[in-house]
Amino acid sequence: MRYATWYNNRDVRVQEMPVPEIGPGEALMRVEACGICGSDVMEWYRISRAPLVLGHEVSGQIVAVGEGVNNIKVGDRVAVAHHVPCNTCRYCLSGHQTVCETLRKTNFYPGGLSEFVRLPAINVDRGVFHLPDNVSCEDATFVEPLACVLRGQRLANMHPGDSVLVVGSGIAGLLHVQLARAFGARKVIAVDIDDYRLEAARQFGADAAIHAQEDLPAAVRRVNDGNLADVVIVCAGATTAILQALSCIERRGTVLIFATPNPGVTIPLSVNELFWRNEITVMSSYGGSPADYQTALDLIAAGTLPVHRMITHRLPLADTGKGFQLVAEAKNSIKVLIEPQK
């Protein structure tokens, strides 16, 4: 079978290997679609482990199941989770599955950017989600990123009627815009440095889209009845984005750092102004739990978020390198999909 090996964002090679064999409890999935995530192009995070077969926003069809597998069968169309929790550690038992050590060590093989993947038994047990008839494999690639967004907004304790500022209007930011709108936000405001993405934010539900070079607190007050935002979600890794977020949060508000900054980044925090006087919460989130995956799939199936409209590029496996360049440039693309069977 063919698969794409990542050496860096400018060097992605399509190679061949045997189709993985499966054992008891395992399954083999033919990959129909795989999204390229923004985290896939973070070279600082991955370069020391290269070469890698990346791709975790995956959906496809089960083509073989191992002995003892009862929850899926050959022919099933599914979305799959690459990381799954143990469900028994203290983190899992307290509802914090995404910091489970097992979740951070599990994965499928060799990676979603391949024609077939082997699903280990633990993934088959708790990381496979059946697609309803009205959900295409393309749309199912949004299950994983939407699960992460769901968890982030839940942890941020967003309420209907809140005003939400999303700093960064790439794929994650646009999903946050849509989900905040679906969950009853009173006002949703998007920020970016790129006009293409600002227009995309407007199309996907933002009440206002502001260029990041503006005086952001003043601009937020201008479109938000004189107030700053109740919830600010940072979907850009730049230090300036975090500092802007901290300048735009209302008293008792929450700043969710959703994007990943470069290693070693530190930011100055005024303890008195942010925490003591104004009771601001600054937090982060990582990944999604199996329950978040299922909720994300349910929302997609219900048509709550028009994810299909977010797909701007569909590329065959041979053009995976082009896909990485599009995502790394972060300009005239929103969602880039690789279709390994083409």
Distance CA 193, CA 44 (A): 22
Distance CA 171, CA 142 (A): 10
Query: Do the strands 11-16 and 311-316 form a parallel or antiparallel pair, or are they unpaired?
Result: unpaired
DSSP state of 281: E
pTM of the model: 0.96
Closest of 8, 50, 83, 40 to residue 260, by C-alpha: 40
DSSP state of 272: I
In sequence order, the 6+-apart residues with CB closer than 8 A to the CB of 210 are 189, 190, 191, 198, 216, 219, 220, 223
Distance CA 60, CA 74 (A): 11
Kindly report the number of other CB atoms within 10 A of residue 75's CB atom: 8
Q: Output the pLDDT for position 264.
A: 85
Closest of 258, 286, 294, 287 to residue 80, by C-alpha: 294
Which ranges in the chain are annotated with CATH 3.40.50.720?
157-284
Three-state DSSP class for residue 99: helix
The DSSP element (H or E) to which 183 belongs, if any, is: none
3-state helix, strand, coil in the chain (%, to 5): 35, 25, 40
Q: Output the pLDDT for position 331.
A: 86
The whole-number mean pLDDT for each consecutive block of 10 residues of the chain, a chain of 342 residues, reads 97 98 98 96 92 97 98 98 98 96 97 98 98 98 98 95 98 98 97 97 98 97 98 95 96 95 86 89 95 98 96 98 95 95 94
- β-sheet bridge partners, residue 284: 257
Q: What is the CATH number of domain 2-142+287-339?
A: 3.90.180.10
Distance CA 138, CA 132 (A): 13
The DSSP element (H or E) to which 74 belongs, if any, is: none
Distance CA 209, CA 197 (A): 9
DSSP state of 259: S
Q: How many helices (H) and strands (E) does the chain have?
A: 12, 15
Q: Could you give the residue ranges of the DSSP H alpha helices within 156-207?
A: 171-182, 195-203
The DSSP element (H or E) to which 21 belongs, if any, is: none
Structure tokens, 155: 């942890």
Which ranges in the chain are annotated with CATH 3.90.180.10?
2-142+287-339
DSSP state of 2: E
Distances (CA, A) of 173 to 132, 165, 235: 26, 10, 5
Q: Could you give the residue ranges of the DSSP H alpha helices within the chain?
A: 43-46, 90-93, 101-105, 121-126, 137-140, 143-155, 171-182, 195-203, 216-223, 239-247, 290-301, 320-329
Q: In this structure, which topology does domain 157-284 adopt according to CATH?
A: Rossmann fold (3.40.50)
